Structure 1
Amino acid sequence: MNVLPIPASGLPEGAVMPEHKLSIVIPMYNEADNVEPLLVRIHQAMENYSQPWEVVLVDDGSTDATPAEIRRLAAQYGPHVHGVELVRNYKQTAAMQAGLDAARGDVIATLDGDLQNDPFDIPRMVYRLLTEDLDLVAGWRKDRKEGFWLRRLPSRIANRLIARVTGVKLKDYGCSLKVFRGSVIRSVRLYGEMHRFIPAWLATVTTPRRIAEEVVTHHARIHGQSKYGISRTFRVVLDLVFMFFFLRYRTRPGHFFGGIGIVLGVLGSLILAYLFAIKVFLGQDIGTRPMLITGFFLVIAGLQAVTSGVLAEMLSRVYLEANGALAYVARPQPPHGEGDGWHWPSRATTATTARGKPSRSRSK
């Protein structure tokens, strides 16, 4: 089942993990062949973990057997493995938000469901988050197992552009393997393609000094196909444009868009003043001149057109957050197993063998 090597622990010798509860959130879309090997890998990585933990698997409206696999394996492993099933494909950001909403831990780790992220990196990242008093430790796929021209080169360009626009200097915004302080990540909501801008998003409620980057392992995809395509690039560009405006003018949008409106309004007013002077002093007819229409258009555009889109965007976000509206709809899942839903190191209802297979602990 598992063909990946098992690395040694990345924790310092004699390190004591601070007390916490850990939630591992994994959005999945058409990853039926990866669900079981991923859970095996997670249980191998967490076999000697000293704190309680859970796994939240989010099916993002898959068209294959992914939801059935999640239900089967959740029942097999026990109550510390939870499934969230969305009614349709809402894309990765909404699926990640659904997982964050379902997570109960005060520390939350996220990773992709394609086995390219390695769960063995999670304990080291959690230890750094808690011992260095950080709010986010983001993974850096320094040695990516993907093609250079179609994946790595565009990613490098995008990472530099995002870092320049947002002001949060990271080398790998696209890595889904991240570890958050739960209280901080729950203070923001994710929309659109914002999952790749999470570090910049968090910087609005914390500080870049509490965001760090950690080199992580990256594996080549074994099963399934990549969900990334050129269409996602265009969506990312649009979200990056909005992020630029939101990060700089979220509390004072009128300073920027009002400035644009003033410029357009002044240009339109100058045109209208020029035509008025021609009419009054030279007696020429201006009613059929295109400049008249242009002048009125610039004035109206300066007052309304530019700001209406931004105000609509902000109002939609205010509505979603103030009214508790969700960007997804999930099917209710029946309870399975016994216990409180955590994998406790001393009283686990579902234990794992050295191979990561589930084995029921016996109570005497």
Structure 2
Amino acid sequence: MNLSIVIPLLNEEESLEELYRWITKVMAENAYTYEVIFIDDGSTDGSWNIISKLAQQDTAVKGIKFFTNYGKSQALHAGFEKAQGDVIITMDADLQDSPDEIPELYSLIKNQGFDLVSGWKKKRYDAKLTKNLPSKVFNWAAKKTSGVKLHDFNCGLKAYQKKVIKNIEVSGEMHRYIPVLAKNAGFKKIGEKVVIHQARKYGTTKFGMERFINGFLDLITIWFISKFGKRPMHLFGALGVLMFFIGSASAIYIGISKLYKVYAHEKAILVTDNPWFYIALTTMIIGTQLFLAGFLGEIVLRTKNNEQRYKIDEII
């Protein structure tokens, strides 16, 4: 099979049939063998009924329905698990991503050997103050922090080699950082393609300003995971040793100071009246806790299991 097209969605009943017709038109023009996988992330409208109807009409249409809204990352994870195509395309269901981009994305993966190609919506039709400007700031920070030179991490239109999506773990809200996850997994040939961004035709956006706050928090998380995810002791252990050293040095200073004053027959203050006593005590406790955090991190890393983060109601 040439292509798997993975489409997560939430309450997009108005756009689904039009999107389906558009995709099938592009597939027929290019003689691709393909499957379209819709992941209904807890829609409360008639989206699932439409997906079911399309699946009855066309065996290339597959569907996964979640019990409730678990988030785009979980929807993509479920779609990636089911996908069988040599090349996987992800796109949003709101018609803002153009299926006409698929042939060139497919060619970049199949013929030019890219592991992953991310869309870049260079010209956007979003409101500049509420989405466009914050998105630019976010993308700049993501690029600087992750080292992945992309202009648009948020673009849902992406293409992957099958081995990429089968070897990365998309969880939490990490769908924005799939290129970073791929890079961390060892896939180095990551490209970018300018794609058409279309104005929303139906409904309203499902993402508000909070997605940028969450995005920056996730950026910190993925930076930490990239640096220390496989060796937490390197961070917590090093900080713990440093803090314990400061505490020990402070304790030694208190002891030497006390002994010196006793030897010199000077009036010595109580140890508990010396502010260095509390500095030593606090830093030694913090150092011990950090060291234990490193050990616990190593234990969790070696004993973790892949807990299912979503519940599937129905599959077609």
Answer yes or no: same fold by TM over 0.5: yes
State whether residues 136 and 212 of structure 1, in contact with CA within 8 Å, keep that contact through their aligned partners in structure 2.
yes
1:25–1:56 CA contact under 8 A, matched in 2: yes
* Deviation readout 1:154-190 (Å, 9 max, x if unpaired): 1111112111111110111110100100112210111
Please say if 1:25 is aligned against 2:6.
yes
Structure scoring higher RCO (CA < 8 A, sep ≥ 6) equals 1
Query: 2:66 matched to which residue of 1?
Result: 86
Question: For the Cα contact (< 8 Å) 2:12–2:94, is it kept in 1?
Answer: yes
Distance 1:169 1:251 in 2: 23
CA distance in 2, matches of 1:40, 1:64: 20
Tell me how far 1:124 sits from its aligned partner. 1.1
Q: In the alignment, is the contact (CA less than 8 A) between 2:164 and 2:187 conserved in 1?
A: no
The reply to whether residue 228 of structure 1 matches residue 207 of structure 2 is yes
- Structure having the higher helix fraction is 2
Distance 1:56 1:310, change over 3 A: farther
- The verdict on how the C-alpha distance between 1:313 and 1:98 changes in structure 2, with shifts beyond 3 A counting, is farther
Q: SS at 2:205's partner residue?
A: coil
- Kindly indicate whether residue 310 of structure 2 is the aligned counterpart of residue 328 of structure 1: yes
Is residue 106 from structure 1 mapped to residue 86 from structure 2 by the alignment?
A: yes
Q: 1:43 aligns with which of 11, 14, 24?
A: 24
Query: Structure 2: how far apart are the matches of 1:190 and 1:248?
Result: 18
| Aligned residue among 225, 233, 238 for 1:259 | 238
Shift of residue 318 of structure 1? 6.2
Offset, 1:194: 0.9
Of 150, 153, 156, the residue aligned with 1:176 is 156
Kept after mapping to 2: 8 A contact 1:320/1:326: no
Query: Using the alignment, how far apart are the partners of 2:271 and 2:131 within structure 1?
Result: 57
* CA distances 1:185-215 after superposition (whole Å, capped 9, x unpaired): 210111111111111110122343x111111
Q: Does 1:300 align with 2:285?
A: yes
Give the Å deviation of 1:130. 0.8
8 A Cα contact 1:278 1:284, kept in partner: no
CA displacement 1:210-245 (0-9 Å, x = unmatched): 111111111011111112223222222222112112
Kindly report the root-mean-square deviation, in angstroms, between the aligned alpha carbons of the 2 structures.
2.4
Give identity over the alignment, percent.
34
Classify 1:37/1:317 alpha carbon distance in 2 versus 1 (closer, same or farther; 3 Å): farther
Distance 1:288 1:85 in 2: 65
Q: Which residue of 2 aligns with 1:319?
A: 304
Give TM-score, length-normalised by structure 2: 0.89
**Structure 1 counterpart of 2:264:** none
Q: CA deviation digits over 1:108-136, x for unaligned, max 9?
A: 10011111111110111001111111111
Paired position in structure 2 for 1:153 = 133
How big is the shift at 1:96?
0.8
For the pair 1:219 / 2:198, whether they are aligned, the reply is yes
In structure 2, the CA distance between the partners of 1:212 and 1:263, relative to structure 1 (3 Å rule), is same
CA contact (8 A) 1:27 1:113 kept: yes
Corresponding residue of 1:7:
none
Q: Is the 8 A contact 1:92 1:195 kept in 2?
A: yes
What is the identity, as a one-letter code, of the residue corresponding to 2:70?
Y
* CA distance in 2: counterparts of 1:314 and 1:157, whole angstroms: 37
Q: 1:120 to 1:315 in 2, by over 3 A?
A: farther
Counterparts of 1:51 and 1:307, CA distance in 2: 55
> Which residues in structure 2 correspond to 1:343-358 (within 5 Å)?
none
Residue 61 of structure 1 aligns with which residue? 42
Q: Please, which runs of 5 or more residues in structure 2 have no aligned partner?
A: 262-267
